[in-house]
Amino acid sequence: MITFTMNGLEVTVEEGTTLLEAARFYGIDIPTLCYNEGLSVYGACRLCLVEIGPPGRSRLYSSCTYLAAEGLIVRTHSERVIRARKMIIELYLALCPSSKTIQDLAARYGITRVRFKPKYEDCLQCGLCVRMCEEQMQAKAISFVGRGVDRRVGTPFDRQSDQCRQCGACMYICPVCQARCQGPQEENPVCGACLNLSPPCLDKHEDVMCYLDPCVACELEGETD
């Protein structure tokens, strides 16, 4: 077992546990885009950053790729982490405003403006589809092509791959394809609609009854009214 400090608390996890897994085990919410329990870790979306090290000598690392080690001092929500995370979400929002995943994330972190020119891309390059295709579907039909700014997901010679069985797993796992957000306008990439919704339960009940957002039951109830 490994003991280390997370947000001031002493925590204990099994050897081989990543900091992200440890944080989630202890109920600390760290956002991710490129992480999936069933796939290898990738460390590319940079949302799961945490601050590691004693004050003054600390650095930010992606928690999904960092194994818990004895005596680490980890802060998952420090000022530095939040500042970086907010900027990263703003960059994502400018890149891909049509993803509901991103809009939700932006709402959660209170991002109300985007200072970059919106691009309306359909790919975040989180690499989930590439790993899904290779690791779970054993197809390896797609991969990253090119590098730097020109990097993208594609098939060899941009042709229909013989390896592709059209299983659709890549689309299933994609944070952009799976849920589209129709909210953002041409000029302003912030949707914010979900942000402004009060939990529907409160219209009917004194307490919030569930954590579904939006709650299908409430919505249906509303329709029948």
Partner 1 sequence: MQFKKVLGLEVPCGPGGMTTVSLLQTIQEEYGYLPEEVLQKAAEETGFSLTDLYSIATFYKSFSLVPRGRHRIVACTGTACHVRGSDSVIEEISRVLNVKKNSTSEDGEYSLECVNCMGACALGPLVVVDGCHHGRMTPAGVRLLFTEDKEKEEAKAGTAGLEK
Partner 2 sequence: MGVLPAKLKTSADFYNFRKKAIDQYECNRCYLAVCGDTGCAALGSGDIREHLREYLRENNLSERIGIKYTGCLGLCERGPVIIVYPQEIFYQKVSPQDIPEIINKTVLGGEIVDRLLYKDPASGEKYVYARDIPFYTKQLRKLLAANWQLDPESIDDYVALEGYSAAVKALTEMTPGEVVEEIGQAGLRGRGGAGFPTAVKWGECLEAGGRKFIICNADEGDPGAFMDRSLLEGNPHSVLEGMIIGGYAVGAAEGIFYIRAEYPSAVEKVKKAVERAEELGLIGEDILGSGFNFQVYISTGAGAFVCGETTALVASMEGRVGEPRQKPPHLIEKGYLNRPTVINNVETLANVPLIIREGAQEYCRTGTERSKGTKVFSLVGKVNNTGLVEVPLGMTLREIIFEIGGGVKEGKEFKAVQTGGPSGGCLPSSLLDLPADYEDLSAAGSMMGSGGMIVMDEDTCMVDVAGYFLRFLSEESCGRCFTCREGIARLLEIIEDISSGRGSMEQLDLLQELAVVIKDSTMCGLGQTAPNPVLSTLKYFADEYRAHILDKRCPAGVCRELVTFKIDEELCTGCGACRKNCPVDAIEGDKNEPHVIDINKCLKCGICLSACRFDAIRKE
Residues that bind partner 2 (CB under 8 A): 42-46, 49, 59-62, 65-67, 69, 80, 83-84, 87-88, 91-92, 94-95, 115-117, 124-125, 127, 144, 146-151
Nearer to partner 1, 163 or 188 (CB): 163
147 binds partner 1 (CB under 8 A): yes
> How many CB atoms lie under 10 A from the CB of residue 105?
21
Residue of the chain from 145, 169, 215, 217 that contacts partner 1 (CB under 8 A) = 145
Residues contacting partner 1: total by CB under 8 A: 13
Q: Choose the one of partner 1, partner 2, none that binds residue 83, judging by a C-beta under 5 to 8 angstroms depending on kind.
A: partner 2
Q: Choose the one of partner 1, partner 2, none that binds residue 140, judging by a C-beta under 5 to 8 angstroms depending on kind.
A: partner 1
Query: Interface mask (CB under 8 A) for partner 1, residues 14-53, using x and -?
Result: ----------------------------------------
The answer to whether the beta carbons of residues 20 and 63 sit under 8 Å apart is yes
Alpha carbons 35 and 49: distance in angstroms, whole number: 12
**Which segments within the chain are labelled E, that is strand?**
2-6, 9-13, 49-52, 59-62, 73-75, 143-145, 152-154
Give the shortest CB-118-to-partner 2 separation in angstroms: 12
Provide the pairing of β-strand 2-6 with 49-52. unpaired
Nearer to partner 2, 153 or 177 (CB): 153
Give the shortest CB-126-to-partner 2 separation in angstroms: 8
Q: Where are the alpha helices (DSSP H) in the chain?
A: 19-25, 79-95, 100-108, 128-131, 169-173, 193-196, 201-204, 216-224
DSSP character for 7? T
DSSP character for 53? S
Residue of the chain from 140, 180, 204, 205 that contacts partner 1 (CB under 8 A) = 140
Residue of the chain from 143, 195, 199, 215 that contacts partner 1 (CB under 8 A) = 143
Q: Choose the one of partner 1, partner 2, none that binds residue 125, judging by a C-beta under 5 to 8 angstroms depending on kind.
A: partner 2
Residues 6+ apart with CB under 8 A from 201: 207, 208, 209, 210, 215, 218
Query: Dmax over Cα atoms in the chain, in whole Å?
Result: 59
Which parts of this chain interact with partner 1 (CB under 8 A)?
Answer: 140-147, 155-157, 161, 163
